[in-house]
Structure 1
């Protein structure tokens, strides 16, 4: 017991004394010949490994960013922490001493040069803590590249049509455990859908259960649902038409994040991504992966 306590004490001392990981500036990235793109691991269809190779729409965008910079693409895999602020701190501006996937836990985990799939939301970017300090002051969130939303897919042999969530008072629906849809379906509407809500480890697992006849529908992010429908390639499973009353924000824009001191890299990346969107390359990339593409609000507003 004494030796374990001593080890924990020494580890804590090492963590306190070690300097924070250094974010690489634009010139460092170009000189190195590669850019580290921060991607959430095991998160299809956005970023995951397919037969050992990085795959997903964020991976493809990362490769195009690297190509635009004239450097090599290098994935920086992110295991989600308790919240997004932790993910930004651990992967964009400070680093983490206790990375469970690191064989050398006393060595700071390397930082991503650019992190993908970060909310592009002014209120979140400038959110303050109880003392009035800006929580994400070390981070710049920029470059919206996609609008995401919630979606329901259903088995048309079990349900004729889903135009309202009221049908799930009588039909079962699968959701990812601890997700916003799980909370919405079990807590809203005076709990009338709670007993028909089934929880799964992921949206793909929920969709597999629907194919086995265990649930009649699945709710998840539009991209997750699109990927599952593309893999099934059957008219039996369809997209619902309904909205989600009392859910609050039902669609949101996604962008990227860099450390606040590395704006030059951010400007270069933003220009590349902006070109992809305005030329139609981004929409084509999504379509090529069987995914629906929705423009972020910034581009919808400027188009009007």
Structure 2
């Protein structure tokens, strides 16, 4: 075979291969069809993240677990859950858990729960759809009423023992606000769970943390009546004190997205979502409400 015949044959094979790839892209199967065929839907949730997704007495439980199970039931499916340790940022988590998989060949899940839904962040996503915004989280302070004769602003915690999770937004805020005047009051713990446990045991005067987590953990650790319900703290400057939470699926699965959005709306409208949060000692705060 001469050179030109080899070249022509090679080009023909390349064009054929490109056509096959294009056809594969056009025929991507919506994950709704996949989960309906297997009869179950796999949720990706954060590991050791009470009160949202965690193990207690050998049972995997939490708000996100109850919510995912209820949505799956609405779709006529069984819910399964896979946990992961968060990466450096949400982009890493979405890539590794939802649309590409890890470099070492890890599988992707069907749905990821508890996804930050900042509108600007959502708008720039080209691989995933973030939707079904269902909860508004806000940083809040709970304080021991026996240790605080009064409380009106965050400045009142100066000189008190204020617990915060190491490296959290609450930790950063307390360390830098008012020129660092409150930094000496901060007592850091590796997890919020450990922090609230110490608080319930009387080792702290207050805790600053996301309100939902704080409420749930105060229930878990049987916080006494002298520990005030968490109240929102408005941050000044670069720190965000409140944010919305939603769910995410891969961009190429609009049918799954629409089915889950409908299931989520039903949970909220029926009051079941509020009941799920209440079971874990939390107030259900709808998006837009403060």
TM-score (norm 2): 0.85
CA-based RMSD: 1.8
Match of 2:278 among 279, 282, 287: 287
SS in 2 for 1:116: strand
1:64 aligns with 2:70: yes
1:38 aligns with 2:35: no
Structure 1 residues 44-53 or 267-276, which shifts more?
44-53
* CA-CA distance at 1:240 after TM superposition: 4.8
Partner of 2:13: none
Relative to 1, partners in 2 of residues 1:202 and 1:161: Cα closer, same or farther, differing over 3 Å?
A: farther
* CA-CA distance at 1:162 after TM superposition: 2.6
- Structure 1 residue runs of 5 or longer lacking an equivalent are 1-21, 99-107, 128-135
1:234 aligns with 2:240: no
Residue deviations 1:81-128 (CA, integer Å, cap 9, x gap): 111100000001000034xxxxxxxxx21211010001122211234x
SS in 2 for 1:287: helix
Alignment of 1:13-24 (within 5 A): none
Match of 2:121 among 104, 121, 124: 124
* CA-CA distance at 1:156 after TM superposition: 1.6
Alignment of 1:69-108 (within 5 A): 69-98=75-104, 108=105
Partner of 2:111: 114
Alignment of 1:131-150 (within 5 A): 136-150=125-139
Relative to 1, partners in 2 of residues 1:294 and 1:271: Cα closer, same or farther, differing over 3 Å?
A: same
Distance 1:242 1:63 in 2: 30
1:259 aligns with 2:250: yes
Distance 2:201 2:117 in 1: 37
Distance 2:30 2:84 in 1: 18
Partner of 1:27: 33
Match of 1:243 among 212, 227, 233: 233
* CA-CA distance at 1:71 after TM superposition: 1.3
Relative to 1, partners in 2 of residues 1:92 and 1:24: Cα closer, same or farther, differing over 3 Å?
A: farther
* CA-CA distance at 1:221 after TM superposition: 1.1
Which aligned segments of 4 or more residues in structure 1 are displaced greater than 6 angstroms?
A: none
TM-score (norm 1): 0.81
* CA-CA distance at 1:251 after TM superposition: 1.8
1:216 aligns with 2:195: no
The aligned length equals: 260
1:193 aligns with 2:176: no
